[in-house]
């Protein structure tokens, strides 16, 4: 499988490059990155306009601002895409929907298979424990720029799928912040070099249930992205999520 990696010199891009190079079925034929310095066994270009049309898939871990031009190039050359970039805007999400009418696209804010299962479990618990309060806590390294994490938003969507009337709240501060029974609050922590921790807490009378996922390295995201790349390279035109790799959505 011939791969173009967008964001090839970023933290996730570097991890993905290493994982791809360890897989004999994969060949990185090009990278896209603003930083083109250094010696690489493949070409690094700055613009999606310069991509190689012979690729089987584009894997994107760059900045969401690059998506419009990246989607345009992918559609033009009929190259399927895996999008792992976070911070996607409503406008960019609409562009993904439009591009998915022409190519296969798998997009997820978290490529971990464990997180995909966590979303399913969170929805089951939300439905099974209707009287329990729900709080979502996420923690990441101090360099992460967006808050809350895309994964926390995905977990929120999962629990809200069974509680459509619930109101999302971000953080809690002040002397008059009594909890609304209908609220689901997300708390964000930023410290040190935490790769990623996500927790969904269900609090009921005299008992608490917690679903927690801890990423010990970025390798899990790269491994999930590689599975997604193999999947989408052979998938029919359309838009997919990581759930499709583990047997579909709930």
Q: 151-195, pLDDT tens digit by residue? A: 999 999 999 999 999 999 999 888 888 898 899 999 999 999 999
**What is the three-class DSSP state of 41?**
coil
Locate CATH 3.40.50.720 in the chain.
Answer: 2-107+218-246
46 given a catalytic annotation: no
pLDDT at 248: 46
Locate CATH 3.30.360.10 in the chain.
Answer: 113-215
- The catalytically annotated residue of 72, 77, 120, 144 is 144
2-107+218-246: CATH number: 3.40.50.720
Q: Which fold has domain 113-215?
A: Dihydrodipicolinate Reductase; domain 2 (3.30.360)
Residue 245: pLDDT band (50, 70, 90) is: confident
Query: What dihedral angle (degrees, nearest 10) is formed by the CA atoms of 123, 227, 75, 151?
Result: 30
The pTM of the full predicted model, rounded to 2 decimals, is 0.81
144 given a catalytic annotation: yes
Q: At what angle do helices 113-128 and 150-160 cross, to 10 degrees?
A: 30
The two structure tokens encoding residue 137 = 């806590």
- The catalytically annotated residue of 119, 140, 198, 213 is 140
pLDDT at 109: 84
Contact 27, 57 (CB under 8 A): no
């Amino acid at each position: 499988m011939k791969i173009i990696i967008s964001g090839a010199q970023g933290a996730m891009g570097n991890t993905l490059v290493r994982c791809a190079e360890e897989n004999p079925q994969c060949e990185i034929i090009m990278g896209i990155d603003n930083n083109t310095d250094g010696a690489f066994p493949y070409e690094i270009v700055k613009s999606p306009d310069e991509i190689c049309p012979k690729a089987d898939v584009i894997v994107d871990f760059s900045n969401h601002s690059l998506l419009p031009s990246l989607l345009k190039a992918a559609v033009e050359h009929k190259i399927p895409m895996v999008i792992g970039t976070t911070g996607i805007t409503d406008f960019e999400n609409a562009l993904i929907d439009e591009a998915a009418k022409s190519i296969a696209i798998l997009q997820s804010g978290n490529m971990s298979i464990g997180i995909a299962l966590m979303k399913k479990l969170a929805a089951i618990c939300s439905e099974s424990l209707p009287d329990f309060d729900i709080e979502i806590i996420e923690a990441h390294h101090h360099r992460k720029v967006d808050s809350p994490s895309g994964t926390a938003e995905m977990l929120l969507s999962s629990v809200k799928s069974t509680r459509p009337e619930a109101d999302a709240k971000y953080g809690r501060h002040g002397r008059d912040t009594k909890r609304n029974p209908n609220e689901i609050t997300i708390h964000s922590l930023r410290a040190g070099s935490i790769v990623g921790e996500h927790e969904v807490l269900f609090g009921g009378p005299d008992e608490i249930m917690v679903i927690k996922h801890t990423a010990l390295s970025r390798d899990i995201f790269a491994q999930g992205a590689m599975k997604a790349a193999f999947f989408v390279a052979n998938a029919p035109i359309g838009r997919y999520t990581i759930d499709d790799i583990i047997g579909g959505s709930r």
